[in-house]
Chain A
Amino acid sequence: MITVVKPGMFTTVQDSGRWGYQAYGMSVAGAMDRYAYCLANLLVDNDCEAAVLEMTMLGGTFRFNVSTQIAVCGADMGALLNGTELRPWQAVQVAKGSELVFSYALSGCRAYLAVQGGIDVPVVMGSRSTYTRAIIGGFKGRALQAGDVLQIDDYQGLCGTVRELPAQLVPRYETEIRLRVLLGPQDDLFTAEGIETLFNSSYTISSEADRMGYRLDGPKIQHIGKADIVSDALCQGAIQVPAHGMPIVMMSDRATTGGYTKIGTVIGPDLTKLAQAKPGDTVRFIKCTDADAVEALCAERDTYCQAKQIFSTAEKSRTFEEQVRQYNVTIDGRKFSVKIKER
């Protein structure tokens, strides 16, 4: 079990999202930064679907009532484990009774705490993700509060190898970010000047930036006619532009449908950067092609495979070095070569 001593600003249980119910008006939810989420899970030998804690801006304080292995990825919230600096982007052994304290995000916006085996909350409609607006999923459908107790499996294994992400795969969070955009579905409802404005301007993230969407401030994007359409579906990363001309990028807790024109879509692999951006940070949009976007998606998936491979190779070689012993034995005059694998 993990006891929540302090919840932090907005800490929720999230997984890869509640897919399959958007036709019924159910938002997908799920981790905002899927890169940090996925790697935190891989570091503790979970699959990429396991439930983790997502902390926002100000992290929480947690007491572990079991010994386990954890990994913290994403924003740097100056985590301290029993008073000692905890290294992010690597697996860490946690002894029963330990206290893990997070503070304000020094870089990035959202930190992910993965625990071996995942956070055990009930699966609602195929997912453990919290969707606070409908009060479902996660821990009682809400953000964590002091005193909440989260169930986790007691981790018995004593695998000596501690996984660590190679430095080149650890992202750096900038305060000026560039996001690749695929135009459409309603780019034809904007003037050529409006589209040029989108790609040639710098936008500032407003204070209205949450799990639902990021509202940006900057030069006004011009429509040809009206800014309203007959409502249609909203995909992740969709850039809605209402009549005021300011873009809103739709994130994990977005409504399933919307009635504003969508000039384009921030490509999936780049949403990790936006999920880690804070109010006041600046955004530039870069036009890209469908081929560029698919290539970026493939590259992201490759990174996960690469990470998995690095972890498993490291463990295999270690297993061979440390845990296999060879004996030459003679029984009744016959020689035997015996290998013993120790677990």
Chain B
Amino acid sequence: MSGIRMLPAGEQGLVVEFGQTIDSAINNRVHQTAKLLNMEIGDAIFEIVPTYRSLLVYFNPMRITRANLIRQIETMLKKTENCLSEQDQKQIVMIPVCYGGDFGPDLDFVARHNGLSPEEVIKIHTSDPYQVYMIGFTPGFPYLGGMSERIATPRLEKPRIKIPAGSVGIAGSQTGFYPMESPGGWRLIGRTPIKAFNPQASNPFLFDAGQYLQFKAITEEEYHEINRQVDAGTYSPVTHIHVKGGGAI
């Protein structure tokens, strides 16, 4: 367990830090530990917040002392150290995107900036699943890892004041989409009709940190059809599960 640090974050917070960089293996460790700790949620531990490289454990010091909590987590980490090294399966949530046009006003810029055609940008953007490292900034906003440097593009110098919900963008070598209308400086290349955040739904969030997202190009007609289904509450997103060493199931 070398390199794991237990840091205080107020009298009700404990940070379990696995590293200091953005790294897929570190992030896997964070989410697998979060999953295990989520099973312990109760009076003593009341919330777990996993992020890129650490997780914040909220606890009630009148139910468990900090020293005991640290001991408990260390024991758990030791027990699971070996089986935590790699994810056994990947859950991939498919995100349909209508690229270009009014939905993706910066697609041509991203293509020109990287010496590619817009079609090539779309092909690269949809080719591989992206790991959801964490969710933050606004409800449901995914911080994704693993975008190809071939389509990396700097942010807008002057952020837009209003970006419509569902907008898919690129900022440096990051990609992601806006679950709700907000200001932002990302280069917009398309839009998804899917709602990543629906506060009225019994499950308000489409995906969990630790899962994967893969974008899929759709036509404008398909966009409007899915949009209708989303509004009617009849759309359910497609999720693939990839098992380590095997194919999709």
The answer to whether A and B assemble together is: yes
Chain A residues in the interface with B (C-beta under 8 A): 19-27, 124-125, 133-134, 136, 182-186, 229-233, 235-238, 255-257, 262, 265-268, 290, 293-294, 296-298, 301
* One of B8, B46, B66, B200 near A19 (C-beta < 8 A): B46
Total residues of chain B contacting the partner, CB 8 A: 45
The A-B contact count (CB < 8 A) is 133
Known contacts being A184-B8, A256-B49, A265-B9, is A233 close to B55, with CB within 8 Å? Answer: yes
- Contact indicator B141/A25 (Cβ below 8 Å): yes
Residues of B62-85 at the interface with A, using a CB-CB cut-off of 8 Å, are 62, 66
- Contact indicator A238/B15 (Cβ below 8 Å): no
Q: In the complex the two chains form, what is the Cα distance from A232 to B7 in whole Å?
A: 12
- B187 CB-CB contact with A under 8 Å: no
- Contact indicator B52/A268 (Cβ below 8 Å): no
Which residues in A have their C-beta under 8 angstroms from that of B20? 229-230
- B92 CB-CB contact with A under 8 Å: no
Chain B nearest Cβ from A102, distance in angstroms? 30
- Contact indicator A290/B137 (Cβ below 8 Å): no
- Closest residue of A by beta carbon distance from B52: A230
- Contact indicator B58/A185 (Cβ below 8 Å): no
- Contact indicator B9/A184 (Cβ below 8 Å): yes
- Contact indicator B11/A294 (Cβ below 8 Å): yes
- Contact indicator A265/B8 (Cβ below 8 Å): yes
- Contact indicator B204/A182 (Cβ below 8 Å): no
Chain B residues in the interface with A (C-beta under 8 A): 7-13, 15, 17, 20-22, 34, 46-56, 58, 61-62, 66, 134-141, 143, 180, 197, 199-200, 204-205, 208-209
- Contact indicator B135/A268 (Cβ below 8 Å): no
The A interface is mostly helix, strand or loop, or mixed, namely: mixed
Known contacts being A23-B135, A235-B58, is A297 close to B11, with CB within 8 Å? Answer: yes
Chain B nearest Cβ from A228, distance in angstroms? 11
Which residues in B have their C-beta under 8 angstroms from that of A290? 8, 11, 66
Q: In the complex the two chains form, what is the Cα distance from A237 to B8 in whole Å?
A: 12
- Contact indicator B56/A265 (Cβ below 8 Å): no
Q: In the complex the two chains form, what is the Cα distance from A265 to B241 in whole Å?
A: 40
Q: List 9 contacting pairs A-B, 8 Å CB cutoff, sorted by A.
A: A19-B47, A22-B56, A185-B9, A186-B7, A231-B136, A232-B54, A233-B51, A233-B54, A235-B13
